[in-house]
């Protein structure tokens, strides 16, 4: 019998590529997104449902509808975006929205599906983090802190879920060419102009990294690998750039690593 995966943020980028790959592999896919009218899939294995990860009702309605199709085997918590700019230029509401989406939304979707996974004594929770969950970049302090939170949450969660045969996986992409850099980000601006020169120098460099980056299909493959890996492995750097960054971070003293970041972006 075909397995079923539920994906958040499947309208574009990594989520969309993941939906297509799982369908090609014969899985039933529940591709959730804020605006289902944006869905653009040709496979009849893909079912589209509305789900906004910042809206509790929307989460619970989507999960209840999904369970009408039958057992869910894998959850891919992919929805997310970047709040970029200087910390002082971000309003408390922007910071709240960043954490509501990337952290609390991911937690609430996970919590909504956990009773089903516990009862079926199986399940895989795949959280799309980032290399920016193990290191931080200029103008990305808030986005990166959400991904550090996802890393810490997932690492702790894996232990308590082992007894129910539920595995937790972290996907760590480096820069990937998606809407992440142009349509999706929120750029922090305020009346405080003292950071403008700095931010205007750095953000184009960060965007250039996205321009030259691999396509989202490479991350979809890593997500598929994690979904079908029966081991307890937690972390999956998603692409060659991510592997390099993660290894350098592990091997180099922190101050040398920061010097490399400065020399690339300052």
Ligand X SMILES: NC(=O)c1ccc[n+]([C@@H]2O[C@H](COP(=O)([O-])OP(=O)(O)OC[C@H]3O[C@@H](n4cnc5c(N)ncnc54)[C@H](OP(=O)(O)O)[C@@H]3O)[C@@H](O)[C@H]2O)c1
Interface positions with ligand X (CB under 6 A) = 8-9, 11-15, 33-35, 38, 52-54, 78-81, 101, 105, 128, 130, 173, 175-176, 178-180, 184, 210, 216
Pair 107, 116: CB distance under 8 Å: no
Give me the DSSP letters along 154-184: HHHHHHHHGGGTEEEEEEE--S--SGGGTTS
For residue 5, list its beta bridge partners. Answer: 29, 74
Dihedrals phi, psi of 48, to nearest 5 degrees: -100, 130
Pair 229, 130: CB distance under 8 Å: no
CA 17 from chain centre, in angstroms, equals 13
Three-state DSSP class for residue 7? strand
Residue facing ligand X at closest CB distance: 13
From the list 140, 143, 195, 236, the catalytic residue is 143
66 or 78: CB nearest ligand X? 78
* 143 given a catalytic annotation: yes
117 or 143: CB nearest ligand X? 143
38 or 121: CB nearest ligand X? 38
Most distant CA pair in the chain, distance: 59
Dihedrals phi, psi of 77, to nearest 5 degrees: -85, 95
247 or 256: CB nearest ligand X? 247
Residues with active-site annotation: 143
């Amino acid at each position: 019998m075909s397995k079923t995966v539920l994906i958040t943020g499947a309208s574009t980028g990594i989520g969309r590529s993941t939906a297509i790959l799982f369908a090609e592999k014969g899985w039933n896919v529940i591709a959730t997104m804020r605006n289902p009218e944006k869905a653009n899939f040709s496979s009849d294995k893909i079912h589209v449902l509305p789900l906004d990860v910042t809206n509790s009702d929307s989460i619970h309605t989507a999960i209840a509808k999904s369970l009408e199709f039958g057992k869910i085997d894998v959850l891919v918590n992919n929805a997310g975006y970047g709040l970029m700019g200087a910390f002082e230029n971000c309003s408390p509401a922007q910071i709240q929205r960043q954490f509501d989406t990337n952290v609390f939304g991911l937690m609430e979707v996970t919590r909504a599906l956990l009773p089903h996974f516990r009862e079926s004594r199986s399940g895989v929770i795949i959280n799309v983090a980032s290399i920016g969950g193990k290191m931080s970049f200029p103008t990305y302090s808030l986005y990166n802190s959400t991904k550090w939170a996802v890393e810490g949450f997932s690492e702790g969660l894996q232990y308590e879920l082992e007894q129910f045969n539920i595995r937790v996986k972290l996907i760590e992409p480096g820069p990937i060419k998606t809407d992440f850099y142009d349509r999706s980000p929120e750029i922090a601006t305020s009346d405080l102009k003292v950071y403008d020169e700095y931010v205007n120098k750095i953000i184009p460099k960060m965007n250039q990294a996205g321009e030259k980056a691999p396509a989202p299909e490479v991350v979809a493959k890593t997500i598929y690998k994690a979904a079908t890996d029966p081991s307890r492995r937690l972390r999956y750097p998603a692409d060659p750039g991510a592997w390099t960054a993660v290894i350098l971070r592990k091997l180099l003293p922190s101050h040398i690593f920061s010097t490399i970041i400065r020399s690339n972006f300052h």
